[in-house]
Amino acid sequence: MRRNQGCHQLDHQLARRQFLAGAASGAVGLGLLGSPANAEKIKGQHKRVLQLYLQGGVSQLESWDPKPGTEYGGPFRAIPTSVPGMHISELLPYTAQRMHLLSIVRSINLKTNDHGQGRLFMEKGRRAGEFPYVGSIASKYLAPANSELPGYIHISTRGLNDSTAAFLGAQHAQLKFEGVKPPKNLAIPKGLDQTTDARRVQLRQQFNKQFGRGRTKSMTESFDASFIQAAKLMGRKSFFEKPPAQKDLERYGTHDFGRNCLLARALLENDATCVKVTHHGYDSHAENFNFHLEQLGEFDKTFAMLLDDLHERGLLESTLVMVYSEFGRTPKINVRYGRDHWGTAWSIALGGCGIQPGAIIGKTNEKGTAVADREVDAGHLFHTYLQALGIDSTGDHEIAGRSIPIGDPTAQAIKELLA
């Protein structure tokens, strides 16, 4: 039982964490600034999204909104960050040194404690109904027409398959990667060589040419485009199979999340529009502190390295970074040292494209039990993400004869967060 560790060991690990935090702070400023050469590259880059989804509900108290020394604060301390006056949990020492690239929203109230409802609300910006996910919207409005990759790629190691595109259509639905494994059916069928494969595809096009004469093209074009996209993915098969460089693995970590984030980086570098990486396992009803120690321990350094790389490559200015969950965790600690579901007062972190860095939006009360200032919900956040990306979220989707408001018309963006 790896997760069910005794107190002694917890103490031991804590000490180690403190050491690491100290070591990291020494590195501030080195290699974190974008080089001027990269600035040129940014121009003309299309906007994109990196979503890091901490599935299950990360504890705001053990991450972005620590309350050390209070009734529900838990055992961890708050540490200073690269933004003067901003403190986050000591479980995120690497991230703490990069907070000048990020901002925190501490005053989210979703009014739901249900995994499914919270997740859908955070993705769709609506409490109910068939609406597209942020990733599908990005795919629809941001992906270049000649894109080499599908607009919305989700790297995850588990099931959950939603209808993410709603009325935006199948081509904007998430293409799911099971970890770093390439998508299904990427390889030519057994027994077929390249020549035969190329010939059959050519034959297919020959059939189509005759059929297309004197007929409307829109539907056949969409069908044919899916084959072109499939071929592009197949052409990049080696890209999925290429093992990451040892140096990168050392920095990101050899665990699944490290590998998945390396793949995310590669995808973003290759002009993917929205890449979502799910880090599973934050539903800590028991042993919340051990859980977070371990989970965030894995998350922190990997995320920090990814952030560094995007920044150094000049990608951060065109990439919206979202670190989010479906809700947070109860301030009250239950009898199993766990924290339960809590959509009432929790936090997320945002950064990159269109986001004012180094800001803290809203706050919770002293014990962290309620929002004390600037309450927002997923509807407001949704407008914020989209406007950061330059999408007018108050406009409409114009789909096949219907106009559907892109964001919830009763919610607005968090203006002070927009750069």
CB of 77 to other proteins, least distance (A): 42
**Distances 411 to 35, 127, 128, 349, 355 between C-alpha atoms, Å:** 38, 12, 14, 20, 18
Stretch of 44-52, 91-99, 211-219, 268-276 contacting other proteins, by CB under 8 A: 211-219
Q: Rounded to whole angstroms, how far apart are CA atoms 96 and 317?
A: 20
Residue-by-residue DSSP string for 103-120: EEEEEE--S---HHHHHH
Q: Given candidates 3, 409, 415, 419, which one binds other proteins under the rule CB under 8 A?
A: 409
- Contact between 33 and other proteins (CB under 8 A)? no
Q: Given candidates 170, 238, 246, 335, which one binds other proteins under the rule CB under 8 A?
A: 170
- Contact between 219 and other proteins (CB under 8 A)? yes
- Contact between 410 and other proteins (CB under 8 A)? yes
Give the sign of the dihedral formed by CA 94, CA 97, CA 102, CA 104.
positive
Question: Closest Cα partner for 373 from 358, 389, 361?
Answer: 361
* Site mask for other proteins (CB under 8 A), range 229-248, x = bound: xx--xx--------------
- Contact between 378 and other proteins (CB under 8 A)? no
Q: Rounded to whole angstroms, how far apart are CA atoms 135 and 68?
A: 35
Q: Name the residue nearer to other proteins (CB basis): 283 or 408.
A: 408
Classified as helix, coil or strand, 229 is helix
Bridge partners of 319, per DSSP, are 48
Q: Name the residue nearer to other proteins (CB basis): 370 or 399.
A: 399
Q: Given candidates 208, 254, 270, 334, which one binds other proteins under the rule CB under 8 A?
A: 208
CB of 311 to other proteins, least distance (A): 30
Strands 328-329 and 341-342, sheet pairing: antiparallel
Q: Name the residue nearer to other proteins (CB basis): 80 or 169.
A: 169
Dihedral angle of Cα 202, 234, 274, 348, to the nearest 10 degrees: 160
User: 263: how many CB neighbours lie within 10 A of its CB?
Assistant: 22
Q: Given candidates 7, 23, 27, 225, which one binds other proteins under the rule CB under 8 A?
A: 225
Q: Which residues bind other proteins (CB under 8 A)?
A: 127-130, 150, 162-163, 165-167, 169-173, 175, 183-189, 191-192, 196, 199-201, 203-204, 206-208, 210-216, 218-220, 222-227, 229-230, 233-234, 396, 399-405, 409-410
